[in-house]
Amino acid sequence: MKLVKYLFVFVMLIGLGISAWIYYPQYQIHQMKKHAVVVSKSSNQTSFINYYRNTQKAQIHHLAIGDSIIRGVGAPKDENFVSLFSKKLATQTSKKIVTQNEGINGITSNELNELVQEGRYDEAIKQSDIVTINVGGNDILQMANGQDIRSVIQGYDQLKNNFSKNLTNITKKITMLNPNATIVFLELYNPLSPDDQLYPLADKMLPKWNLNIYEAANKVPGSIVVETTKVINGDHLQNLSPDGVHPNVAGYTAISEQMIDQFKHQFRKSSV
């Protein structure tokens, strides 16, 4: 699994260039967060928690699609972050939460987009109040596996652009089927230790990848990006399972708590 981590980080680092180019995505993400809060407050919107607390529905449907992080690899079946978050949401809203976990180990954004476009999740999406998505990590691993350095470098920009296109298409299909659903995205996190020589560069490159996620979310009024990097990073390696890549129970619990915290403090913009 150590090799997997290095491959993962290597692909993220190959686009490294001028320092300003590295830090600009961080600035863009910061501005998107800041703008979202200002617009929401000025529009007299309600928090995500209050939105679901005040709904007339007796139960809330939560659909989760994506990869092994959605599935919960690294923790027992009922201790994945989707289940943990749903339990916390039930407590906060006094509603029954119906959870459907469709996480698939190893799935890429290409594969998830194909499943979404062919209608595999259509009925579930139509019934859902919340749709959580996590995908992209396997895009990086799949490209790095078996490729020489030159091929990986040449394909990096295409990989990033392809991921962005897939994520945009996935969200478009979801909003077409259910414009009122809240779409929850998760940031990609850096699993390396601060002692690793690649850690500083990986940490600087991470926002460039995550910027794609924020840009996709920015196009959907009722969306939220969970700041996974706050709870799984070099200061919280105890939240990773023995494979060094997936969260453990503590990690999934931390992600679910971060989700609830953002649901409490971020405002939900209404769809037009």
Strand pairing report for 130-134 and 96-103: unpaired
User: Cβ contacts of residue 117 below 8 Å, gap of 6+?
Assistant: 169, 173
Ranges of residues in the chain with a pLDDT under 70 are: 1-44, 144-156, 201, 271-272
- The mean predicted confidence, pLDDT, of the chain is 86
Q: Can you read off the two tokens belonging to residue 138?
A: 């396997």
> If we measure between CA atoms, which residue out of 202, 251, 265 comes closest to residue 47?
265
pLDDT for 22: 52
Q: Residue 192: what pLDDT?
A: 86
The residue assigned the tokens 């939460």 is: 97
Task: Give the span between the Cα atoms of 140 and 117, in whole angstroms.
Answer: 22
User: How far is the C-alpha of 126 from the C-alpha of 129, rounded, in Å?
Assistant: 8
N- to C-terminal Cα separation, the chain: 45
* C-alpha separations of 180 from 2, 52, 60, 86, 244 in Å: 42, 12, 13, 19, 37
**Long-range contacts (CB closer than 8 Å, 24 or more residues apart) made by 34-43:** 36/218, 36/266, 36/267, 36/269, 37/266, 37/267, 39/269, 40/266, 40/267, 40/268, 40/269, 41/267, 43/267, 43/269
CB 131 within 8 A of CB 179: no
Ranges of each domain in the chain: 2-265
Q: Around Cβ 204, how many Cβ atoms within 10 Å?
A: 18
Here the tokens at position 29 are 């993400």
| CATH number 3.50.50.60 given to 2-265 | no
